[in-house]
Amino acid sequence: MSRPVPKPGILDIAPYTPGKSPVPEPGRKVFKLSANETPFGPSPHAIAAYKSAADHLEDYPEGTSRVLREAIGKAYGLDPDRIICGAGSDEILNLLAHTYLGPGDEAISSQHGFLVYPIATLANGASNVVAPEKALTTDVDAMLARVTDKTKLVWLANPNNPTGTYIPFDEVKRLRAGLPSHVVLVLDAAYADYVMKNDYEIGIELVSTTENTVLTHTFSKVHGLAALRIGWMFGPANIVDAVNRIRGPFNVSVPAQLAAVAAIQDTAHVEMSRVHTDKWRNTLTEEFTKLGLTVTPSVCNFVLVHFPKGGSKTAAAADAFLTKRGLVLRALNNYGLPDALRMTIGTDEANELVIEHLREFMAQP
């Protein structure tokens, strides 16, 4: 019996697996540290703005997210006409792939890049080309070495999830300079707000001075609006025009737009989260290293912890031990990192408990 057949590439996609939220032992509190969510939630102003939309849920959104585009433009000094908003930056990544990729095309991403990249690539019938990394960090030379006439798009998460590493802006510029003019370079800056390095830049300069570079960002991380699914892209006029032709006209809800406007204006809330993250990123790295574990240097709101490959102290054993105690970290088998766990930086209480219980785990015979 015949049945519908998906177009080429769809069945080659490994379904995205989100961080788990299991039930711990009775009486234990659960700390979800698997999805890189902020422990502080959104700005109170964002919550108030979200609630204010409740009286007009019968109205369609303004089709271009104008109010939010203007708020983003003001915050970053950008032309609002060169900004597109989406239902999370994931939607924008998929729109870019849909606009520029098709059968016979190739897109390049790094070895441990965000899993949405191959999904968006394969869903449009293109080939996903993987460039190996050096020390779990994007290798610009490896990316450039894989460019062919078929390359249409390069995905660069900077900083990267799940490794937490980044490349300096000089390296980003070198990558752009080495790519052919027809290749779109996508700078995914989802975790940019947490970076406190002098040689890092989000990429606005490159977007402003080229016709083939875009910058994507999200309100899901430091702004704490993950449930509302809202992100944005800054790009050259030619790319913005092309993507807008296939973007749904009401793709960002009114409550999401209003909450995001309030969130981006509350700079004190963002700075508080940045300071907390920087403090605990350093502390967790130091404490886990004392336990004999290896921690990949991170600039994000999470740390990547490596465990022995064999014996009783594996990542899987540690994951089970911590989960039973209500501490939910992220296993990374689907990222090709079976010997590591990714821990989102949480509240003081959650972070202290992870240190305490990992110390207990490592001390076991």
pLDDT of residue 147: 98
Contact residues for 216 (Cβ-Cβ < 8 A; gap 6+): 89, 92, 93, 186, 187, 188, 189, 190, 231, 232, 233
Instruction: Dump pLDDT digits (tens) for 54-106.
Output: 999 999 999 999 999 999 999 999 999 999 999 999 999 999 999 999 999 99
Domain 10-41+268-363 and domain 44-266 have a common topology: no
109-149 pLDDT tens trace? 999 999 999 999 999 999 999 999 999 999 999 999 999 99
- 155-169 burial code (b ≥16 CB/10 A, e <16): bbbbbbbbbbbbbeb
pLDDT value of position 13: 74
Strands 231-234 and 151-157: unpaired
Given CATH 3.30.390.30, say whether it is the number of domain 10-41+268-363.
no
Q: What's the residue count for the chain?
A: 365
* C-alpha closest to that of 304 among 191, 136, 189: 136
Average confidence (pLDDT) over 24-49: 90
Paired tokens of 14 = 């490994």
Cβ-based neighbours of 326, under 8 Å, separated by 6 or more: 24, 25, 28, 29, 30, 31, 353
Structure-token match 């039973």, residue found? 324
Q: What per-residue string of b and e applies to 95-115 under the rule 16 or more CB within 10 Å gives b? A: bbbebbbeeebbbbbbbbbbb
Tell me: the pLDDT tens digits for 238-292? 999 999 999 999 999 999 999 999 999 999 999 999 999 999 999 999 999 999 9
Residue 359, pLDDT above cutoff 60: yes
For 278-334, the pLDDT digits (tens) are 999 999 999 999 999 999 999 999 999 999 998 999 999 999 999 999 999 999 998
**For the chain, counts of helices (H) and of strands (E):** 12, 13
CA dist 128 and 46 (Å) reads: 38
Q: What separation in angstroms does the CA of 97 have from each of 1, 6, 44, 108, 120?
A: 34, 18, 35, 12, 6
**Residue 34 predicted with pLDDT over 60:** yes
Check residues 3 and 245 and name the one with the higher pLDDT.
245
The model's pTM is 0.93
Query: In the chain, where are the structural domains located?
Result: 10-41+268-363, 44-266
State the sign of the Cα–Cα–Cα–Cα dihedral 94, 98, 99, 101: positive
Round to whole Å and give the CA distance between 279 and 350: 14
- Give the per-residue pLDDT at 19: 60
Helix (H) or strand (E) holding 85, with range, is: strand 83-86
pLDDT in tens, 192-250: 999 999 999 999 999 999 999 999 999 999 999 999 999 999 999 999 999 999 999 99
SS3 percent helix, strand, coil of the chain, rounded to 5, is 40, 15, 40
Q: How many other β-carbons are positioned within 10 Å of the β-carbon of residue 226?
A: 17
Strands 83-86, 231-234: pairing is antiparallel
Q: Rounded to whole angstroms, how far apart are CA atoms 278 and 86?
A: 29
For residue 16, pLDDT over 80 is answered with: no
> Taking 80 as the threshold, does the pLDDT of residue 21 lie above it?
no
CA-based end-to-end distance of the chain: 58
Q: Are strands 127-131 and 106-110 parallel, antiparallel or unpaired?
A: parallel
- 7: pLDDT strictly greater than 90: no
pLDDT at site 42: 98
- Assign 2 a pLDDT band (cuts: 50, 70, 90): confident
When the candidates are 3.30.2290.10, 3.40.190.10, 3.40.640.10, 3.40.50.20, the CATH number that belongs to 44-266 is: 3.40.640.10
For range 341-355, the mean pLDDT: 98
Can you give the pLDDT at residue 259?
98
Model confidence band, residue 29 (pLDDT cutoffs 50, 70, 90): confident
**213: Cα separation from own chain's centroid:** 18
